Amino acid sequence: MTPDRWDAAVFKARVDEVLHPFVAREADLFAAIDPSLAPVAAQVEAAVADGKRLRAAFCYWGWRAAWISSREAAAVVHDDLIDDSALRHGRPTAHIALRGAVRRRPRSVAAARSLAMLVGDLLMGMAGQLFTTSGLPAAYLGRARPLWTVLGRELIAGECLEILRTGAEPDTGASLKVIRYKTAKYTVEQPLLIGGALAGAGGRLREGYSAYGLPLGEAFQLRDDLLGLFGDPGQTGKANADDVCGHRPTALLAETWRVAGDDDRDRLRALLGRRDLDEDGLHAVRDVMRRLKTPGLVEDMITARVEEALDALHGLDVPSHAADALTALANSATVRLS
């Protein structure tokens, strides 16, 4: 990747060249404390094995437009635990994989979930270590460090809002607030702002980053909502039934509820939150949504937010190569199959 040419695959490879050996070394040091910790150390490494490195890319271009990132994996482990998701990238999530390490123990399922929570915590600590040992001058790091606190506070607020809204009557406004705090700020806005802070971005540019990042981050999660239920599990690496079985406050479900009549709402009530939901039940939920055309409504929401983000980007005084890269990232985040 040349300084002025964006290549997502090359960027991911460069991030992984740093991330994978660092996490492997830390996992080895952790496992060396006691042999029984080996399964936990394996999940630390597994958490960073895959991923598009979008958050790292937004941080990088936040830096480049104005003139780091195992935390992503940490939040993924915690999110899978909160959502009780069984698969990520087609492999068992940490709290599922770790059941084997405690299968003969009392309350083994709860013990595996506790271990997974600690895997996420361990990765959070590693992210801070990578940040502070990145080699950047202390003054640069000092400008950006407060944003790490903001990122953590807003991400946890979004996760808490999702938990509090799970199982409640669907509401589009509430779902969009969850999306803004759980995903949009964490995935796009704050990485951009951190990168910009490292480079000394001024107030107008920071405002532009938010105007671009928030709607784009919302579009990213709205695409996830659609892929979660209608995508190909072979490509998404996730189970289609997760959001329905968990009765999660997705915008897709909220929009369906908003336009549904009494009969369709009764049908949805009978299916949402059922842990034993079979393929016929999942098909019934999809059928209601297709009949009410709510996937199209969510597609319209995605399109509107991407247009809003790109309009904000085009209004910024940034180098053309940075604008091109951020445009390409907007496409990568929202036009995808996984």
- C-alpha dist (Å) from residue 197 to 65, 69, 151, 193, 332: 11, 16, 13, 6, 24
Question: 288 near 262, Cβ under 8 Å?
Answer: no
Per-residue pLDDT of 186-237, as tens digits, reads 999 999 999 999 999 999 999 999 999 999 999 999 999 999 999 998 888 8
pTM, to two decimals: 0.87
- C-alpha dist (Å) from residue 211 to 151, 188, 258, 315: 17, 11, 27, 10
Residue 68 predicted with pLDDT over 90: no
Report the pLDDT value the prediction gives residue 3, as an integer from 0 to 100.
54
Among 23, 53, 25, 79, smallest CA distance to 238 is for 79
> What 3-state class would DSSP assign to 91?
strand
User: Which ranges of 84-202 does DSSP label H, i.e. alpha helix?
Assistant: 94-97, 108-132, 138-165, 172-179, 190-198
Residue 51 predicted with pLDDT over 90: no
Question: What is the arithmetic mean of pLDDT over 63-88?
Answer: 71
Whole-number percent of the chain with pLDDT over 70:
96
Task: Please give the full DSSP string across 33-52, using - where no structure is assigned.
Answer: T-GGGHHHHHHHHHHTSS--
What end-to-end distance do the CA atoms of the chain give, in Å? 24
Q: How confident is the model at residue 1 (pLDDT cuts 50, 70, 90)?
A: low
Mean predicted lDDT score pLDDT of the chain: 91
Amino acid in position 160: C
Residue 92 predicted with pLDDT over 90: no
Residue 67's Cβ-side half-sphere holds a number of Cα atoms within 13 Å equal to 14
Report the pLDDT value the prediction gives residue 72, as an integer from 0 to 100.
55
Buried b (16+ CB within 10 A) or exposed e, 56-95: bbbbbbbbbbbebbbbbbbbbbbbbbbbebbbbeeebbbb
Question: What is the arithmetic mean of pLDDT over 228-248?
Answer: 91
Domains defined along the chain, listed by start: 1-54+69-134 (no CATH), 137-338 (1.10.600.10)
Question: 33 near 122, Cβ under 8 Å?
Answer: no
Sign, CA dihedral 244-245-247-248, equals negative
Buried b (16+ CB within 10 A) or exposed e, 189-204: bbbbbbbbbbbebeee
Report the pLDDT value the prediction gives residue 100, as an integer from 0 to 100.
84
Identify the top-confidence range among 152-156, 196-200, 253-257, 332-336. Answer: 253-257
Window from 48-62, 160-174, 296-310 with minimum mean pLDDT: 48-62
Per-residue pLDDT of 143-158, as tens digits, reads 999 998 999 999 999 9
Report the pLDDT value the prediction gives residue 338, as an integer from 0 to 100.
82
Residue 292 predicted with pLDDT over 90: yes
